[in-house]
Amino acid sequence: MSTNPAYTRILLKLSGEALMGNDSYGINRATIEQMVREVKDVVDLGVQVAVVIGGGNIFRGVAPAAAGMDRATADYMGMLATVMNALALQDALKHIGVVSRVQSALTMQQVAEPYIRGKAMRYLEEGKVVIFAAGTGNPFFTTDTAAALRGMEIGANIVLKATKVDGVYTDDPKTNPDAERYQTITFDEAIAKNLKVMDATALTLCRDQKMPISVFSIFKAGALKRVVMGENEGTLVHV
């Protein structure tokens, strides 16, 4: 087996919910520590890693109070939650010796740099992990869309969507034990079958720009590294 990574620059999409572990909301410390170790294993291969992180774990704690709130206001609150997650991820990476930079699509100079494409690419070339926070900076767009957009902007080889499920299935594997995992599937098939890969905007963006997506479980030990090495892990969505 080759020891060379199949991808040299990746965009990792982490959902906020993945940071909860088994908690109902918030950040589970053991979970985030396990995640950053997986990231370090890939960085040590010489792979350039950028991360887009969601905020559902933080926002979930205030969701009841947000019921009936204006959508744009709620989305901005969600963007702030992603900044909190980005800072937590940066701190966890620092503790294991991985240098990272947080860039936010919303300006908040005391805690994060503004998103500047050229600086982000330079950081990646220097071997730093770049964490993109605050989504696209616009309401009505999800962090899935932000992942697709940032992946294209930085010239990533692939978008890796890290979830709690180890790929895309023909049905919900939690309720249907006979559901089968797709090893590969085309964008058109995923859209036609309404499979839960990413939101429709992100999926269409990746299809149009021929940006492959890999969906895998961040909770499987070594799964991220296996995806980066091009092994049969998760589901590859391609043109």
Q: Is 151 annotated as a binding residue?
A: no
CB 143 within 8 A of CB 53: yes
DSSP code at position 18: G
Helix or strand (DSSP H, E) at 213: strand 213-217
Q: Would you state the structure tokens that stand for residue 20, as one six-digit string? A: 């909860």
Q: Is 234 annotated as a binding residue?
A: no
**DSSP secondary structure of 114-162:** EP-HHHHHHHHHTT-EEEEESTTSSTT--HHHHHHHHHHHTT-SEEEEE
Q: Is 149 annotated as a binding residue?
A: no
Q: Is 56 annotated as a binding residue?
A: yes
Distance (Å, rounded) from C-alpha 185 to C-alpha 239? Answer: 8
Q: Is 128 annotated as a binding residue?
A: no
Comparing CA positions, the residue from 140, 142, 152 lying closest to residue 213 is 152
CA 98 to centroid of chain Cα atoms: 18
Q: Is 16 annotated as a binding residue?
A: yes
What is the chain's length? 239
- Other CB atoms within 10 Å distance of the CB of residue 116: 11
Q: Is 199 annotated as a binding residue?
A: no
Q: Is 208 annotated as a binding residue?
A: no
Q: Is 172 annotated as a binding residue?
A: yes
Q: Is 55 annotated as a binding residue?
A: yes
Q: Is 31 annotated as a binding residue?
A: no
Q: Is 14 annotated as a binding residue?
A: yes
Q: Is 137 annotated as a binding residue?
A: yes
- Other CB atoms within 10 Å distance of the CB of residue 181: 14
Q: Is 15 annotated as a binding residue?
A: yes
From residue 94, alpha-carbon distances to 33, 87, 129, 134 in Å are 11, 10, 10, 21
Q: Is 155 annotated as a binding residue?
A: no
In three-state secondary structure terms, 102 is strand
Q: Is 141 annotated as a binding residue?
A: yes
Q: Is 171 annotated as a binding residue?
A: no
Known binding-site residue numbers: 13-16, 55-56, 60, 75, 136-143, 163, 169, 172
Instruction: Detail the residues annotated as belonging to a binding site for UMP.
Output: 55, 75, 136-143
* Residue ranges of the binding site for ATP: 13-16, 56, 60, 163, 169, 172
